[in-house]
Amino acid sequence: MEYITEIFVWPAWLSWIFPMLGAVLTPLLAKVHSKVRDYGAIVFSFLAMVMTLSLIPYLWEGKYFHNQVLWVVMEGAPVLSRLMAGVIVDPLSIIMANVVAVIGFLIMVYSLGYMHGDPSLTRYWFFMNFFIGSMLLLVMSDNIIQLLFGWEGVGLCSYALIGFWHRDSKEDWLKCWVGEGPEAYPPSHCGMKAFITTRMGDLFFLLGAFLLLAFAGTLNFVELQGGAILRVPLAVLIPAAILLFGGPIGKSAQLPLMEWLPDAMAGPTTVSALIHAATMVNAGVYLVGRVFPMFYTAVWHGGAANELITFFYVIAWVGAITAFVAGSQGMVSSEIKKVLAYSTVSQLGYMMLALGIAGSTAEFLVGYVGGVFHLMSHAMFKAALFLTAGAVIHTCESRFMTHMGGIRRYMPITFWCMSLAAFSLMGVPLLFSGFWSKDMVLEAPLLAGQYWIFALGAVTVAVTSFYSVRMLGLTFFGPKSSHLAEQERHGHHVHEAPKVMWIPFLALVIGTLAFGVMGPFVKGWFEGVFHEYLGELLPAGGGHSEAVAVHGFPHELAVWVTAGISVAMLLAGALPAYFLYVKRKLEPSVFLQRYGLLAVLRQFVLNRWYINRFFYKAIVYPMIGGCMWALKKIELGVIDRFNYVLANATAGFSNSFRKTHSGILTHNVEGIILGFVVFFLLLALTVMG
């Protein structure tokens, strides 16, 4: 890290200032003309992209820096007396920022077509640009407080954009609600759910930050990593780490806080693509990656190895279990976007898994780079998948896959782009970026000797392939659905997406392929970049802790074993789905009838493993019911009532004397005499006693 005060630091600041500015200007530009507003918004996101792209050369030069300005001054305060705002430019932030800005820009362009004619576009552009700005702010931040500004900013945008169609009208049920039956929710409900759920995680994150702040005296990543973290005693570090992890659990929709993300699909598809697939949900993974070196330092230099490793195992297991649970729900979902949403959760689980494993071994590079690489490749193909799904939904006017079917011939570009992106998601070998990154993720537990985690990850590959092929089959193959036939009778034919929509997703698919073809090189290059950057973290002398003793597979072998198993799993998942949904040789319902257990399982998964219901039944409803009860029984029944009882008692007490205040002179005189008598009697008693 060196300080650079020259012009080179500007892009890092401007990358998030531009889109923020764009957001603020949107309402003003809207006053000029709607076209000015639309293109203006895109120009600002374009500028952000230019800024982040200009940071890429630093990756080659290996020149990273950190630049600060004074932000909040509290002279005299024991901590935070001079809080600096800053940007940090390192491989992690450069890669992440480019993912955000490039995909952000492409999706902004796509929005021109997808959102065309919406009456509330000013609001849309405002929040989209504000989102890109907040996200880049989050990525570039050099301290936790500034990061929280971005963090909550993207949360706010997510809330506002999920509930973008806030009228919740039943007529648009097919377009903008989410779920079916008792678990169907309107957009504004989903937005609120997303915000509150992630907020829950954030509060734990805050607590962790407070603990760090109190002990380490700073929340600056560079300072923490540079040794401040070692000031935190072990007994605090572990709870702090676990609490900090609450933020990523909420934001990246890991168990147990994953239920908001599938329901976030109520927003416009562009929003799902940008926020709930490619960027915001990755913020959690990014944060783990960001604090990773810090805790790694604590593990290997602070001698906290065995205790803190538990924390990293927790991350890995949470990731692995989430990957499987979410993937399984993708297998049965009837909505195209929800399949993708579950897939996103599942893939995020993979990234967490990789980062968790990375922390638990001295050989952290495979896991760490695997996580970051998968983040990048997932962002690309998942954004492409969502954008193609958006094109399909746009033309079919329904979010249900049962309302699609047989549209391959009408929209070939969309079909091919979606297929290729789905192949990348499944990890089809060699040509696709998803293959390389996923293999790295799976390689990590094998190397670390975590075979159970590896097994769970491998099974999830089969699950992934199954739902991907199923989605393609249901959407594009087989006969046309009755919904489409009905539409055609109204003169509405299925058609290919306009150019402004397909160019962005085509670009993303090409990107995925490019990274796929160059896969081994990219992988090697990433490893090199991060090795150079994080190399100083490697324990001196190859590690001195018992934890290193855990040895898994040797490296060479692990690569081949992983590739072999993942291809086998891919086929195991894809082939049944192919026959069931693409060729449609077999009828799924026949299987369900024949094997009762399968039907039960399906029902269980369809009910979202009862996790969602559990939260409503155990927390939301009791909370609301309970407060009504408490209002009646405690607030009005006891506390407030007590006031009136007191008041009435006082009134009654004084009323009982009222009769004596008759105002009749003789009574008064009698009273005076009586008083005197009592007084003298008392006096006599005291004197004598």
Partner 1 sequence: MVPIAFSAIALAVGGRLGKYAGWLAFAVLTYTTGLLGFILFQLRSWGGSLVASYPWGRYLGDFTLVADGLSTPFALVISMLAALIAIYSISYMEHERNLHAYFALYLLYSAGMMGTVLVTNLAAFFVFFELMLIPSWALIGVWGTGAREKIAFKYFMFTEAGALFLLAGIVTARFLAGTFDVFAIAAGMERVSVGTAVAIVSAILLGLFVKMAIFPLHTWLPDAHAEAPTPISALLSPAMVGIGGYAAIRIVYTAFPMVLGHGQFVMALVVLAVVTMIYGGYMALAQDDIKRLLAYSSISQMGYLLFGVVSLSALGLTGAVLIYVSHGLGKAILFMVAGIFIHTLHTRSIRELGGLAGRMPYSATATLLGFLTLMGAPPLIGFWGEFFTFGGSIYTGTGFGGVTAPNLTRIWVTGIAVVFSAMTAGYGLWTVRRVFFGGTPEPLKEAKEGPRLMTAPILVLAVVAVVLGIYPTVLTNVAAPFLSQLLSGLTPAMGS
Footprint on this chain of partner 1 (rule: CB under 8 A)? 71-81, 120, 145, 148-149, 152-153, 155-156, 159, 163, 166-169, 186, 188-189, 191-192, 195-196, 199-200, 203-204, 206-207, 209-211, 213-215, 236, 623-624, 626-628, 630-631, 635, 639-640, 643, 647
CB of 207: closest distance to partner 1 in angstroms? 5
The two most distant CA atoms of the chain are separated, in Å, by 119
DSSP letter string, 25-65: HHHHHHHH-HHHHHHHHHHHHHHHHHHHHTTTHHHHHT--E
CB of 356: closest distance to partner 1 in angstroms? 24
Query: In this structure, are residues 96 and 380 in contact, taking their beta carbons and an 8 Å threshold?
Result: no
CA nearest 584: which of 477, 426, 481, 485?
477
Q: Which is nearer to partner 1, 189 or 301 (CB)?
A: 189
CB of 224: closest distance to partner 1 in angstroms? 16
CB of 261: closest distance to partner 1 in angstroms? 17
Query: In this structure, are residues 567 and 465 in contact, taking their beta carbons and an 8 Å threshold?
Result: no
Please give the Cα distance from 97 to 125 (Å, whole number): 20
CA nearest 26: which of 104, 124, 99?
124
CB of 168: closest distance to partner 1 in angstroms? 5
CB of 636: closest distance to partner 1 in angstroms? 9
CB-count burial class (<10 Å; 0-12, 13-18, 19+) for 381: buried
Q: Which is nearer to partner 1, 68 or 545 (CB)?
A: 68
Instruction: Give CA separation, 229 vs 93, 223, 293, 476, in Å.
Output: 21, 8, 10, 53
CA nearest 354: which of 330, 371, 334?
371
Instruction: Give CA separation, 511 vs 109, 281, 378, 445, 519, in Å.
Output: 17, 21, 11, 28, 12
CB of 243: closest distance to partner 1 in angstroms? 9
Q: Which is nearer to partner 1, 6 or 75 (CB)?
A: 75
Q: Which is nearer to partner 1, 11 or 155 (CB)?
A: 155
CB of 199: closest distance to partner 1 in angstroms? 5
CB of 123: closest distance to partner 1 in angstroms? 8
Please give the Cα distance from 685 to 525 (Å, whole number): 105
DSSP assignment, residue 266?
Answer: G
CB of 485: closest distance to partner 1 in angstroms? 31
CA nearest 17: which of 53, 49, 48?
48
Q: Which is nearer to partner 1, 130 or 476 (CB)?
A: 130
Q: Which is nearer to partner 1, 68 or 334 (CB)?
A: 68
Query: In this structure, are residues 385 and 340 in contact, taking their beta carbons and an 8 Å threshold?
Result: yes
How many residues can be counted in the chain? 689
Q: Which is nearer to partner 1, 194 or 320 (CB)?
A: 194
Q: Which is nearer to partner 1, 148 or 392 (CB)?
A: 148
Neighbours of 81 (CB within 10 A): 11
Query: In this structure, are residues 469 and 574 in contact, taking their beta carbons and an 8 Å threshold?
Result: yes
Give the phi and the psi of residue 492 in degrees, each rounded to 5. -115, 110
Element (H, E) at 246: helix 234-251
CB of 244: closest distance to partner 1 in angstroms? 13
CA nearest 259: which of 664, 609, 677?
609
Query: In this structure, are residues 242 and 597 in contact, taking their beta carbons and an 8 Å threshold?
Result: no
Q: Which is nearer to partner 1, 16 or 317 (CB)?
A: 16
Instruction: Give CA separation, 548 vs 288, 307, 309, 364, in Å.
Output: 21, 13, 11, 11
CB of 635: closest distance to partner 1 in angstroms? 6
Tokens standing for 440? Answer: 């790295």
Q: Which is nearer to partner 1, 126 or 311 (CB)?
A: 126
Q: Which is nearer to partner 1, 626 or 675 (CB)?
A: 626
Query: In this structure, are residues 187 and 266 in contact, taking their beta carbons and an 8 Å threshold?
Result: yes
CB of 652: closest distance to partner 1 in angstroms? 16
Query: In this structure, are residues 408 and 415 in contact, taking their beta carbons and an 8 Å threshold?
Result: yes
Inter-axis angle of helices 91-114 and 10-32, to 10 degrees? 20
Query: In this structure, are residues 353 and 320 in contact, taking their beta carbons and an 8 Å threshold?
Result: yes
Q: Which is nearer to partner 1, 120 or 593 (CB)?
A: 120
Q: Which is nearer to partner 1, 138 or 384 (CB)?
A: 138
Tokens standing for 196? Answer: 């509150």
Q: Which is nearer to partner 1, 209 or 580 (CB)?
A: 209
CB of 309: closest distance to partner 1 in angstroms? 24
